[in-house]
Amino acid sequence: MIAVVGSVNRDIVVVVERHPRPGETVLGGDHLAVDGGKGANQAVAAARLGADVAFIGRVGGDAVGDELRSGLSAEGVDVSHLASDPDTPSGLALITVDQDGENAIVVSQGANANVGAADIETAAGVLETADVVLLQLEIPLEAVTAATARAGDSIVVLNPAPARALTPALLERVNVLVPNRHELAAFTGSTDPASAVDLPVPFVVVTMGGEGAAVVGEGKVVRVPSVPVVALDTTGAGDAFCGALATFLASGDDIYTAVDAAVGAGALATTATGARTAMPERAELRALLGW
């Protein structure tokens, strides 16, 4: 079982010819309103690949919150530990996607900002028995720290996005750190995957977009090439990667097999518009990888 501790948002996506410069207005196409949030997207990615998933987080006490809860439940995610804040709006992400499929995102945290140690204690039984605990940084660091402390013998996978300073004590409780190159630079000062060698984490998996990923651990750097696809929208590719990585680790696969699958899932996610809508099914992934 995978326990995901993280954010859940409503995403508003607009396709534009190019991203606006400061002070500039650009015209875009029709907007698309879909369910999102890094944590929720990763939970759905794992569920669609066949994992048993429980989600721990918060939504607002608004109609959007009800819809976000229903959306996760419809995907087969256990929402027993998804709390509701009566006087707080649900999280919102404003996303523009340019003609090359690159995105720019602004997130209003809403109820996600209220996820705390009390939520972690309520879900302690789930965290302590999970095969994998999957976390991101769109919720307060207090909750992330508490969840790693409650993870027991679980494999702890942390996607440090958006990047922020993390204490050595927190990193030492992480088994697999999954930054992109920009997030890696926040830790090491370099975008070179080899710079992760000295981080106090058994494995660092650096996602590199169309170049695939690199696994840093056991004293070596192993590059995993991407799978060629026609990319339409990169939004959610990292979430698909993390959800797949957690799924295959929870199934008992080694880190290298899990990263192979994750690279394929991330590539598939770029072939559709939106984040949650692009999370692939297991059959699609198997077909892409020839498994």
Q: In the chain, what are the domain boundaries?
A: 2-289
CATH superfamily of 2-289: Ribokinase (3.40.1190.20)
pLDDT of residue 275: 75
φ/ψ of residue 5, rounded to 5 = -115, 115
| pLDDT on residue 88 | 96
Locate the DSSP E strands across 151-207: 155-158, 176-177, 203-207
163: its two tokens: 């990047």
Q: Tokens 């590719």 — which residue?
A: 237
Report the SS3 class of residue 5: strand
Give the residue ranges of the chain where pLDDT is below 50: none
- Establish whether 239 is a catalytic residue: yes
What spatial distance separates the first Cα and last Cα of the chain, rounded to whole Å? 23
Model pLDDT, residue 254 = 97
Q: Is 0.75 surpassed by the pTM of this model?
A: yes
Per-residue pLDDT tens digits for 228-249: 888 887 878 999 999 999 999 9
CB 264, CB 271: distance < 8 Å: no
- C-alpha triplet 257, 154, 209: angle, nearest 5°: 40
- Write down the catalytic residue from 239, 253, 254, 260: 239
